[in-house]
Amino acid sequence: MKVIRTIVAAAVILVIGAVVLIVALPGEKIAKLAADQVKAQTGRDLTFGGAVGISWYPVLGVSAEDVSFGNAAWSDLGPMFAARKAVIGVDVMAALGGNIRIKNIELVAPDVLLERGKNGQANWDLSEATTATQAPESGAAPEATSYEDFALDRLVLSDARVRYIEHGGARQEISGLSLQMRWPGRGQTADISLQAAPFGTDMDVAASVVAPLVLLQGGVSDVSATLSAAGGQASFDGRVGIAPEASGRVHLDAPDGAAFLAALGAGGVEGPLKVGGEVTLTRDARLTLRGGEVEALGNVLAVQADVDLSGVRPRVTAQIATDALTLGTTDSAQVSETEGASVGWSEDPIDASALGLVDGTITFAAETMQLGGLEIGRTRATVEIDRARAVATLSEMAAYEGTVAGTFVANNRNGLSVRGDLSVTQVALQPLLQATAGLGRFTGKADFESRFLSSGQSLDALMKQLSGDGAMQVGRGTIAGIDLDRLLRGDVTGGTTVFDNMSASWTITDGVLRNDDLAMGLPRMAATGKGTVGIGQQTIDYLFTPQLRGADGASLIVPVKVRGSWSNPSIVPDLDAAIKGSFDKEIKAVEDEAVKALEKELGLQKEEGQSSEDALKKKLEEEATKGLLKLLGGN
């Protein structure tokens, strides 16, 4: 009974004490004490612009409107946060002892401003402010800020807006954010959960901070965090400081990479996405990735990177390597050979905005690649990016039994434009032309050089605005579908032409390639060619002129016209030209005999120096004049 009486008496005393506390410390007094404590701990002002009242449940404290927390002294953008309403709970037992300790904070519709100044300082770094407020006037060394008794059992933010602003740089904003934090006190882990949908898809963040006090005092703490969105997860496990600085392992696993990245406001990649590696972020805004591995679009890439985040755009120095890389499909690059129709180039818009995201140097190495139907072997390349302009230099590339070297430039500073200067050695024509243009008729090994320039927002536009020039040399090879030797003997049933060598040069204007100097050497004949190839329209209008070799030169000439689409061109001999070219002397002799007979029949009298044609014309004019005068009744 004595124990029971003691407990009851203690309860009564607590109730009386609480009542006395409320009477002695009205809401305004509690608010002022809370503000003083915040000022002492952070060096910032906590102000209450609206009415302040007592909150009895679920905790003792104050309920206030128009609450704001001061910004860093160097900022002129207003408070670090302002809330429409705040409920601040205090520790009753501590209050009974005369010490006001904040235990719970609930903020409704807070507006949080995270800001980085021109000298790199962050407004969320409270260490400098608290040190300054505690500096003694005597000139003695300031005491370090003590958070020995600081705790926050519960922090709740609802319908929050968070803004991030860099001096002269990035501005980002997230609205509709909710946050909950539980931190029992010194030596205890703080657990944080956050919910938001900044880009229309819900995402959740759960984090544990092992040493919150150390973090608040400018040190580093062990932290683990997981972000979940669109069925995927990204995690971090390591150490973090509020400078900011961090070091640890990151891992991302998203079955739908495009949906996951879209939830974060980033462009996505189709299919599963996995990323892992060791990251380090230093206080001077330098990020490193070591042992990185990226799995995307069915490819596995090993990545090492150093990134300087202090500039207008991140500056990246990276090395990327893979055994095999596959990108794109054959649909946009190849020509359909079914139903005799060409499908044309893809008109899908090309998004080149990624060129403006970073500056820097990226080296790339691959053992094999398949790029939109192109089969590439061992490749070594370097890409230099500067203000949305990328220059790719091929130091080594094996392709279709040959090698490729040169540079390729993609510029998206004012719309997309491309430029190339390539040199190709001993490449196999048949697989190359089949993959790039749907033409499988030519075989042989070729050396060629090409320079080109174009602009446009789709592959179709780029091909139709293409310009440039180039030259080609081909050794022994074949042309399927036409046998020039048999054709000259009157057989037009097809076959294959075997040639010893071939050379040509060309110019390209508005997507149309023109060649006037094709020369081909064959065992028993020679051939020349000229005409156009519509690269943009995927058409051809070309005239081959083979010539049988005789003792006195060409003895028989049969030009061959090639016209139509790349996929199904018409190949026919030009018989009129063949007859005229091969029997020109005989035709001229017949024409001369006919003229002489006509002169005799008409009684032509040629004047000195006058041709038969002029004399005949004059005779006809005279006869026509006589006939007209007779018709009009003249003499």
* 13/161 same-domain check: yes
pLDDT at 20: 40
* 572/610 same-domain check: no
pLDDT at 338 over 50: no
The number of residues in the chain equals: 635
DSSP codes of every residue in 468-508: EEEEEEEEEEEEET--HHHHHTT--S--EEEESEEEEEEEE
> Worst-scoring range by mean pLDDT, 25-39, 348-362, 466-480, 521-535?
25-39
User: Which token pair is 294?
Assistant: 């990226």
Give the residue with greater pLDDT, 102 vs 446: 446
* 398/420 same-domain check: yes
What gap in Å lies between CA 101 and CA 427, rounded to an integer? 79
User: Which token pair is 83?
Assistant: 């809330």
Give the residue with greater pLDDT, 248 vs 436: 248
Q: Looking at 414, 447, 465, which one is the last position of a domain?
A: 465
Average pLDDT, the chain: 78
User: Which token pair is 522?
Assistant: 């064959």
* 606/566 same-domain check: no
> For the whole model, what pTM was predicted?
0.69
* 452/518 same-domain check: no
* 28/95 same-domain check: yes
Give the residue with greater pLDDT, 296 vs 555: 296
Classify residue 176: in a domain, yes or no: no
Residue whose token pair is 């909710």: 178
Classify residue 472: in a domain, yes or no: no
What gap in Å lies between CA 384 and CA 1, rounded to an integer? 86
> Worst-scoring range by mean pLDDT, 135-139, 163-167, 244-248?
135-139
User: Which token pair is 274?
Assistant: 């996995």
Long-range contacts of range 317-323, CB-CB < 8 Å, 24 or more positions apart? 317/360, 317/361, 317/362, 318/360, 318/361, 318/362, 318/363, 319/362, 319/363, 319/365, 320/362, 320/363, 320/364, 320/365, 321/364, 321/365, 321/366, 322/365, 322/366, 322/367, 323/366, 323/367, 323/368
* 16/124 same-domain check: yes
Classify residue 568: in a domain, yes or no: yes
> Worst-scoring range by mean pLDDT, 77-86, 121-130, 291-300, 433-442?
121-130
The highest-confidence range among 72-76, 332-336, 405-409, by mean pLDDT, is: 405-409
Q: Which domain holds residue 549?
A: 503-582
What gap in Å lies between CA 178 and CA 377, rounded to an integer? 51
The answer for residues whose C-beta is within 8 angstroms of residue 146's C-beta and 6 or more apart is none
What gap in Å lies between CA 437 and CA 459, rounded to an integer? 13
Residue 142 preceded by cis peptide, ω within 30: no
Classify residue 277: in a domain, yes or no: yes
Residue whose token pair is 């060619």: 529
Q: Looking at 283, 312, 341, which one is the last position of a domain?
A: 312
Whole-number percent of the chain with pLDDT over 70: 71
Classify residue 476: in a domain, yes or no: no
The highest-confidence range among 17-31, 61-75, 129-143, 290-304, by mean pLDDT, is: 290-304
Give the residue with greater pLDDT, 112 vs 484: 112
* 161/46 same-domain check: yes
Helix (H) or strand (E) segment spanning residue 546: strand 539-550
* 513/529 same-domain check: yes
- Per the rule left: phi > 0, alpha: psi between -120 and 50, beta: everything else, 448 is beta
Taking Cα atoms as reference points, which of 422, 522, 434, 436 lies closest to residue 472?
422
The answer for residues whose C-beta is within 8 angstroms of residue 41's C-beta and 6 or more apart is 130, 145, 147, 150
* 568/601 same-domain check: no
User: Which token pair is 370?
Assistant: 């398949």
State the amino acid at position 392 in one-letter form: A
Classify residue 589: in a domain, yes or no: no
Residue whose token pair is 């300790």: 101
* 342/457 same-domain check: yes
Give the residue with greater pLDDT, 132 vs 422: 422
Q: Looking at 257, 283, 312, which one is the last position of a domain?
A: 312
At 14, is the pLDDT very low, low, confident or very high (cuts 50, 70, 90)? Answer: very low
* 452/576 same-domain check: no
Classify residue 209: in a domain, yes or no: no
pLDDT at 186: 75
At 246, is the pLDDT very low, low, confident or very high (cuts 50, 70, 90)? Answer: very high
Structural domain tally of the chain? 5
Classify residue 396: in a domain, yes or no: yes
pLDDT at 23: 42
What gap in Å lies between CA 123 and CA 70, rounded to an integer? 10
Q: What is the pLDDT of residues 50-107, one digit of tens each?
A: 777 776 655 667 788 888 888 888 888 888 888 888 887 777 666 555 555 677 888 8
The answer to whether residues 470 and 505 touch, using CB atoms and an 8 Å cutoff, is: yes
Whole-number percent of the chain with pLDDT over 90: 36
Give the residue with greater pLDDT, 124 vs 549: 124
